[in-house]
Structure 1
């Protein structure tokens, strides 16, 4: 990893902003900084960022709103930084499209590890994920849907492409590749590369809820992604390869 990656640090506290910039630059990343949401919007309009370190407590705009707006426009990596420690704040952050959530004060080396972990997932679509099997072996079809693991695309039965975040796509991939089998939350956390989340968090539940809203006819009565209460989730449709 190095200067191919461009990170935006959006943090209103000057000392913390400078510390984060220095920390990321010491790892070889290109870094831009902003202390106000307005500055960040201007930078995003003129530069392509791979990852945003986003403070939730900004003076001119709510960080959760910024996360939702950024996620609606792109699949940029988002790591939220906040002093809020309630589980509900983490869940809301995930609902808004964040990839990870770090509470202050944090250990610098842990933050670096989280950044690198997310950027490795970012690099998967960039590299194209060359298929090792025969032509079409990376394509999965189910109930009129088509999922291309190499292109990281999901097409609904009407032929429309469904926009998924990296975590959503990786979670769906794990479920589809194990269709008919229940996967535990720990197995699904491993599949999306979220080894840093706490064992009691609701990461998987939130991601499943997001997938259901995008894929199910009735998200409140799902027919595709089924819950195994107390254990995990199962992908119900039959899946064809190629």
Structure 2
């Protein structure tokens, strides 16, 4: 059985040809592929199925894919792969700010798209927002100032035990920083250690992810307690951090 067998993909695109192409290609690789043309169809499918990853067009007819991604992030943490016909880096940055995990430009290379989807699924842990937090003894954790970062299930819980939803990029970046408290990382080092060469990442992407992480874990993101900026050098996570 292949690793990604039985994973469910939800394809949201108003282009029937694109939907058919993607459904056929991913079905042949062992995925369960569901396609819809708009946001209402997407929500209907999310209510009916467990979806492991969403492939979404950035510019849907009469709808904004980024706004849909933001709404999805209020409840779900599954990866979102955004497809867009505009090659402007601004679209990628804006998408990151609104919760997409990866991007490809149309027209895309189907083999590369499938490789990226597989990489996202391999790292993913799809779980809805919840407040029940159980410490699993077999899991690896990092603890800092009442926060717990579950490295096994890839979940973050605040000091009150409530889960804080992180995208794959956010979690990967926080993991690298928290594993090495008080060590300064350049943007290039963070890109290399948190996401490697599996997707196209820009220096500006790191800054956006840092900003988003601060909004989620800092009391005052403008004067951060944990993720410090080292001007001209990069970023570091201020400890102490305890591992178990």
* TM exceeding 0.5: yes
Q: 1:235 to 1:89 in 2, by over 3 A?
A: same
2:155 is matched with which residue: 141, 153, 156? 153
List runs of 5+ in structure 2 lacking aligned partners. Answer: 128-136
Q: Which residue of 1 aligns with 2:112?
A: 110
RMSD of aligned Cα (Å):
2.2
Work out the number of aligned pairs and report it. Answer: 233
Gap change, CA 1:27 and 1:199, over 3 Å in 2: same
Distance change >3 Å, CA 137–CA 183, structure 1 → 2 = farther
Note the alpha carbon deviations across 1:182-201, whole angstroms, 9 max, x for none: 12223322343352444645
| Alpha-carbon distance in structure 1 between the residues aligned to 2:139 and 2:230 | 29
Give the conservation status (yes or no) of the 8 Å contact 1:136–1:241: no
Cα offsets for 1:205-242 (capped at 9, x unmatched): 11111110011121112221012334431101211223
Question: Residues 170-181 of structure 1 correspond to what in structure 2 (within 5 A)?
Answer: 170-181=172-183
Which SS does the other structure have where 2:104 is aligned?
strand
User: Of the candidates 54, 67, 81, which is equivalent to residue 83 of structure 2?
Assistant: 81
1:227 aligns to 2:195 (yes or no): no
Match of 2:134 in 1: none
1:96-147, Cα deviation, whole Å (9 max, x unpaired) = 111101111111111111111101102699xxxxxxxxx5882222223232
**Closer, same or farther in 2 for the Cα pair 1:2/1:121, shift >3 Å?**
closer
Q: Check if 1:32 corresponds to 2:34.
A: yes
Query: What is the distance in 1 between the residues matched to 2:56 and 2:67?
Result: 11
Q: Which moved more, 1:111-120 or 1:83-92?
A: 83-92
- What's the secondary structure of 2:149's corresponding residue? strand
